[in-house]
Amino acid sequence: MAAKKVIYDTDPGVDDAMALIFLDAAPEVELVGITTVLGNHRIDVTTRNALFLKDYFNLSAPVAKGAGKPLVLEERDPPTYVHGDNGLGDIPLPDVIRAELHPLPAHRFIIETVRAHPHEITIVAVGRMTNLAMALREDPEIASLVKEIVIMGGAFGYRGHSGNVTPVAEANIIGDPHAADEIFAAAWPIVVVGLDVTQEAVMSTAYLEELRDAAGRTGQFIWDVSRFYERFYRSSTQFDGVPVHDSSAVGYLLDPTLFTTRAGPIRVVTEGIAIGQTIQAPNTRRFPPGNAWEGRPDNFVCIEGDGERFLKLYFDTIVAAAQHG
């Protein structure tokens, strides 16, 4: 089977780190690049964290530094109450990082890599959509050259899952709603893995303990990096553990049968109290002409997920890689 070539666009970030480990562990994935974006922390911090992860897990994929501010909005203070002061759950990080940055900025790295491998690159985007929008603005043709984009972001109200930053908005989308609305308008195949399904897959403390004990150094790292994050979720939300956001996008990449999708164009609200809300016009019904979704391409939203089967895939993939690697 040909490898799935992946660019991972990310803002590490605790769950970003856990998803990067998942990508690295999956035998069918060839990670061709890691591009960073602001979000869970400022760009210098998310980029340093990506370089640290490259060192720590001995990843060959280059790290290209991306956008440090949203397209239109002002940059906000980072959510250190979720991901810690250092963006990685306040685990101790080395003073010196050996890995060096790729010379290109993230959006150009995306353009060049997609052009070098037409119809072969899947972009797994688990931060703000700023780098993708910048790449698209500079080279709109890449939309026809990308194999697929799998996004962690948004919330569509399934099973009562709406926003996590406001009652209607999810963090990656509200962080740069203009970028998100632009990328949903382009004719590239986009699958959206939003809170509707990521909050249906929750890693309990017992699950993380078992993984820690079964997956050697990697399991210990996942345990350590998730302590602060788990405390946040337990103290501030109703979850009995850690909802699995970014790794769910990787889960879709590895096994799309884990999810049921719904087709239809998506718009993002870019101002007002509902800023950051993602709204899909489902293809299953018609709306009167002249609406804001008209003429936009279909995007696919994950509306149901098999949380248990996904959690098993994550566990088994990490443990198998730890045993063989």
Where do contacts with ligand BDR occur on this chain (CB under 6 A)? Answer: 13, 15-16, 40, 82, 126, 152, 164, 170-172, 245-246
As beta bridge partners, residue 191 has 150, 300
Least Cβ distance, residue 290 to ligand BDR (angstroms):
32
Chain positions 239 to 258 lying near Ca ion, rule: CB under 5 A, are: 246
Give the residue nearest to ligand BDR (CB): 171
Of Ca ion, ligand BDR, none, which one sits near residue 164, judging by CB under 5 to 8 A according to partner kind? ligand BDR
Q: How many CA atoms lie within 13 A of 205 on its CB side?
A: 7
> Rounded CA gap, 309 and 251, in Å?
10
Smallest gap from Cβ 143 to ligand BDR, in A, equals 23
**302: nearest Cα among 161, 119, 131, 127:** 161
Please give the radius of gyration of the chain, using alpha carbons only, rounded to the nearest integer: 18
State yes or no: is 83 an active-site residue: no
In the window 113-142, what residues touch Ca ion (CB under 5 A)? 126-127
Whether the CB-CB separation of 155 and 169 falls below 8 Å is answered with: yes
- Between CA 6 and CA 4 the distance in angstroms is 6
Comparing CB distances to Ca ion, the nearer of 13 and 264 is 13
Closer residue to Ca ion (CB): 16 or 176: 16
Marked catalytic residue, from 9, 11, 15, 181: 11
3-state secondary structure of 281: coil
CB environment 22-49: b (16+ within 10 A), e (fewer): bbbbbeebebbbbbbbbbbbbbebbbbb
Three-state DSSP at 297 gives coil
Q: Which is nearer to ligand BDR, 280 or 319 (CB)?
A: 280
9 binds Ca ion (CB under 5 A): no
> Which entry of 41, 161, 178, 245 is annotated as an active-site residue?
245
DSSP track, 91-140: ----S-------SS-HHHHHHHHHHHSTTTEEEEE-S-SHHHHHHHHH-G
Nearer to ligand BDR, 152 or 318 (CB): 152
- Selected from 4, 9, 13, 208, the binder of Ca ion by CB under 5 A is 13
* Catalytic residue status for 11: yes
Question: Any idea what DSSP says for residue 146?
Answer: -
CB of 287 to ligand BDR, least distance (A): 28
3-state DSSP assignment of residue 305: strand
Q: Per CB under 5 A, does 305 bind Ca ion?
A: no
Least spacing, CB of residue 44 vs ligand BDR, in Å? 17
**CB-nearer residue toward ligand BDR: 24 or 246:** 246
Integer CA distances (angstroms), 169 to 40, 209, 263, 271, in order: 15, 32, 20, 12
Q: Which does 170 bind (CB under 5 to 8 A by kind): Ca ion, ligand BDR, none?
A: ligand BDR
Q: Which of residues 24-53 bind Ca ion (CB under 5 A)?
A: none
Residues catalogued as catalytic: 11, 245
**Interface residue list for Ca ion (CB under 5 A):** 11, 13, 16, 126-127, 246
